[in-house]
Amino acid sequence: MPIADAKITKRSVICSTQDIDSEDSNIRLSRSWLRIAIAMVFAGQGMVFSLAINMTPPEYGSTSYWFLHGGLILSSLLVVCFLGSPLLRSTIGMVCSRRLSIEGLFTVSLLGAFAGSLLSTFTGQGAVYYEIVSIVIAIYTIGRLLSSVAQDRLGRETIQIRECFDSASMCTENGWITVKVKDVPTGAIVRVHPGEPISVDGTIYSGSAYVSETALTGEALPVVRNIGDSVRAGTWSVDGLLEIKVRAQAGNRDLDDLLQRVDNQAGNPSKFEAQANRLIQYFLPFVVITSFLCFTYWLFAGSWVEAVFNSMAVLLVACPCALGLATPIAIWQGLLRLAKMGIVSRDGALIDALATTRLVYFDKTGTLSDATMQVTNLHVVKEWEDRHESLRAMIYALESKLSHPIARAITNFLPKSDLLIKNFKIIPGLGVSGTIANKYIEVGELRLNPNLVKDDILAKIEVGKGKSIYVFIDKQLAAIFTLKEQLRYGFSRLIRGFKNLNIELEVLTGDPNPEIELPVFVRSGLSAQQKESHIRSAIKNGLCPIFVGDGINDAPAMTACMASISMGSGTALTRSIASAQLVNDQISVLPEAIHFTRALHRRLRSNLIYAASYNVLGMSLAFFGILHPIVAAIIMGLSSFIVTIRAACFNWNYNPD
């Protein structure tokens, strides 16, 4: 089988496997949302019938009485069957491990509502509120499902990267065979064809090529790698055939360490979740003890019916719906506003991180600068000044045969032409050559013509700072291109906005020699691990850092940060890991987003104070029998509505200047 056909077949198999996994995941997700929708339908019907029963109750013991109450009981049990098993399992696990979590508070409120309603049904006294069962379970399930979707997506992306760099062509006694990377021993020789991924860490044994290392180092342009140079898994051979002597087995590659760091960090809870769990350690025992004391007090001070209903009212009014429903809705409203700015996120923790950050880290290549290069200067030697147009046409015809990023930058700069090329040839790691109109033309590195250095011609030519690409015609210098990275549009507005908000900005880049001059502090030549180390140091200093990046090498830093933002043009892995995406790559919106989240954060904080006051007051009234269970249920809904309106509807103004 030809090499090209083999590569297409291999990639097709990987893509097919990923499509099947994605399809299965989408089916499971659709089924989950369907179950939630069915549960919400039952909850809505339950609310309608409960209100009708409580307002105009049918005669106790009549057929209509048992029919309506039986229907409500059945609807609650169906919702529990559809959605309740994860909540109940989590609660049982909480009890067995002797720890307290928010699942316990959900379960206590759910059981209190159901038990109180059953008591009302069979005694004919008091109100029923079976719909609370459906609402509480639906709230819990939606939050759990959103978290599961994020984890599944991240898992698929890491699997995709591992599969891409999971095999190698190894030299054996029987010739070159394709094997799994885990079966390649240290010291073995593997072969990488042009356009293929490098799946081992090692040293080039034979050949030379341009190697794209952007994903690991942040270097925008492919770098030349020759015999004796080190290469790493996670990079790509652009134009040359390489034979590599393996230095590290699978599991010990730099790529394995990077992905393992992502896996280890993927399950960490958000700051909001951690705070909630800490509060539950105190609030859940307080609710249960208060309800028990209420039951005991009324058992002696009144009747057993009053004891049950008042204690159930305590549990109802303490139900976490105000925070478990209203606050998430308010956060999603905030996320919607961020989306309108161009920052799309599914994670409410992003709002907290943006509101509290004092330091934002940026990657350079592909983040602050465009991932593509641009020609900033073309110097033509005197001998070709009068043939400027024909020279441009020949260069375009030659470079248009390539998909190399340097070639794309040059062809974007030049006018199109369709000249006929003969003897077209790629010179790995150096450039390209061909014959056009009986002229032998070469475009690429200076090493295409080593004699040029000896003749000291370059000392007489002034070229701009950046990457130089040389054009030789019949072995004589004809032109020099200068290519540079360009800062993204809106960078100056970003700097101005951060200054007004008293936020520091630093650049962490793997590029060892960044050529863009930035008016901020730049740490260059950093590995993925070194980026992560800087993040953790900032966290220890209480700066609540945020990282903005686009490449695989940014993944550990992103997982270590309080929150992270991926460029919309970034790799699939970084988009999955990141808390949010800049869908249109407009970095200038970040100051406005931070200003908005600070205002929203202040409103959410005031809501927490309101909810706490509401719970204490409501539980006190319920304890002394002043708050009937049905009134507690109404107040619970009203409180959720008020919290939502306060958080979602408020004015804020932002002036970038």
- My answer on whether 155 and 251 are in the same domain is no
- The DSSP bridge partners found for residue 202 are 231, 246
Nearby residues of 49 by Cβ (< 8 Å), 6 or more positions away: 68, 71, 72
pLDDT at residue 270 above 60?
Answer: no
Of 147, 164, 181, which residue is a domain's last? 164
Residue 321 lies in a domain: no
Check which CATH number belongs to the domain holding 400 and give it: 3.40.1110.10
pLDDT at residue 87 above 80?
Answer: no
Instruction: Please tell me the least confidently modeled range out of 82-86, 203-207, 443-447.
Output: 82-86
Residue 468 lies in a domain: yes
- My answer on whether 378 and 509 are in the same domain is no
Q: What mean pLDDT, rounded, does the chain reach?
A: 78
Check which CATH number belongs to the domain holding 219 and give it: 2.70.150.10
445-469 in b/e form (b: 16+ CB < 10 A) is bbebbeebeeeeeeeeeeeeebbbb
- Give the residue with greater pLDDT, 281 vs 4: 281
**What pLDDT is recorded for position 650?**
63
**What pLDDT is recorded for position 502?**
92
pLDDT at residue 337 above 60?
Answer: yes
- My answer on whether 360 and 506 are in the same domain is yes
Residue 281 lies in a domain: no
Of 484, 517, 547, which residue is a domain's last? 484
Q: Are residues 619 and 119 in contact, defined by beta-carbon separation less than 8 angstroms?
A: no
**What pLDDT is recorded for position 434?**
93
Instruction: Please tell me the least confidently modeled range out of 384-398, 465-479, 573-587.
Output: 573-587
Q: Is 495 helix (H, G, I), strand (E, B) or coil?
A: helix
- Give the residue with greater pLDDT, 150 vs 96: 96
- My answer on whether 46 and 156 are in the same domain is yes
- My answer on whether 494 and 572 are in the same domain is yes
**What pLDDT is recorded for position 440?**
93
pLDDT at residue 258 above 70?
Answer: no
- My answer on whether 448 and 380 are in the same domain is yes
C-alpha separations of 646 from 139, 245, 273, 378 in Å: 20, 64, 22, 59
Nearby residues of 176 by Cβ (< 8 Å), 6 or more positions away: 169, 170, 191
- My answer on whether 431 and 522 are in the same domain is no
Provide the pLDDT confidence category of residue 175 given band limits of 50, 70 and 90.
confident
pLDDT tens figures, 620-638: 888 887 766 556 656 665 6
Which of 50-54, 460-464, 535-539 reaches the highest mean pLDDT?
Answer: 535-539
Q: Is the pTM of this model over 0.85?
A: no
Check which CATH number belongs to the domain holding 514 and give it: 3.40.50.1000
Residue 3 lies in a domain: yes
- My answer on whether 551 and 537 are in the same domain is yes
Average pLDDT over residues 324-330: 57
d(C-alpha 458, C-alpha 240), whole Å? 28
**What pLDDT is recorded for position 341?**
83
Provide the pLDDT confidence category of residue 268 given band limits of 50, 70 and 90.
very low
- My answer on whether 114 and 18 are in the same domain is yes
The structural domain count of the chain equals 4
- Give the residue with greater pLDDT, 452 vs 326: 452
**What pLDDT is recorded for position 266?**
47
Residue 632 lies in a domain: no
- My answer on whether 18 and 160 are in the same domain is yes
Of 102, 130, 164, which residue is a domain's last? 164
pLDDT at residue 619 above 70?
Answer: yes
Residue by residue, DSSP assigns 254-266 as: HHHHHHHHHHHHT
**What pLDDT is recorded for position 17?**
44
Residue 655 lies in a domain: no
d(C-alpha 115, C-alpha 222), whole Å? 68
**What pLDDT is recorded for position 89?**
80
Residue 614 lies in a domain: no
pLDDT tens figures, 196-230: 888 888 999 988 888 887 666 656 667 788 888 88
Instruction: Please tell me the least confidently modeled range out of 67-81, 219-233, 273-287, 448-462.
Output: 448-462
Strand order in the sheet with 175-180: 175-180, 167-172, 189-192, 242-248, 201-206, 230-231
pLDDT at residue 7 above 50?
Answer: no
**What pLDDT is recorded for position 435?**
93
Residue by residue, DSSP assigns 36-104 as: HHHHHHHHHHHHHHHHHHHHSPPPTTSHHHHHHHHHHHHHHHHHHHHHHHHHHHHHHHHHHTT---HHH
**What pLDDT is recorded for position 656?**
62
Q: By percentage, how much of the chain surpasses pLDDT 90?
A: 12
pLDDT tens figures, 348-373: 778 888 999 999 999 887 788 876 77
Provide the pLDDT confidence category of residue 98 given band limits of 50, 70 and 90.
confident
**What pLDDT is recorded for position 148?**
63
pLDDT tens figures, 27-49: 666 666 777 777 777 777 776 77
**What pLDDT is recorded for position 30?**
66
* Dihedral sign (CA 72, 76, 81, 83): positive
Q: Are residues 148 and 175 in contact, defined by beta-carbon separation less than 8 angstroms?
A: no
- My answer on whether 157 and 228 are in the same domain is no
Average pLDDT over residues 256-265: 65
pLDDT tens figures, 505-561: 999 988 777 767 777 888 888 888 888 899 999 999 988 899 998 877 788 888 888
- Give the residue with greater pLDDT, 245 vs 162: 245
Residue 621 lies in a domain: no
Average pLDDT over residues 288-314: 83
User: For residue 450, what is the DSSP state?
Assistant: T
**What pLDDT is recorded for position 583?**
75
Average pLDDT over residues 176-181: 88
- My answer on whether 185 and 233 are in the same domain is yes
Q: Which domain holds residue 497?
A: 343-371+488-585
d(C-alpha 68, C-alpha 35), whole Å? 23
- The DSSP bridge partners found for residue 316 are none
- Give the residue with greater pLDDT, 143 vs 337: 337
d(C-alpha 384, C-alpha 378), whole Å? 12
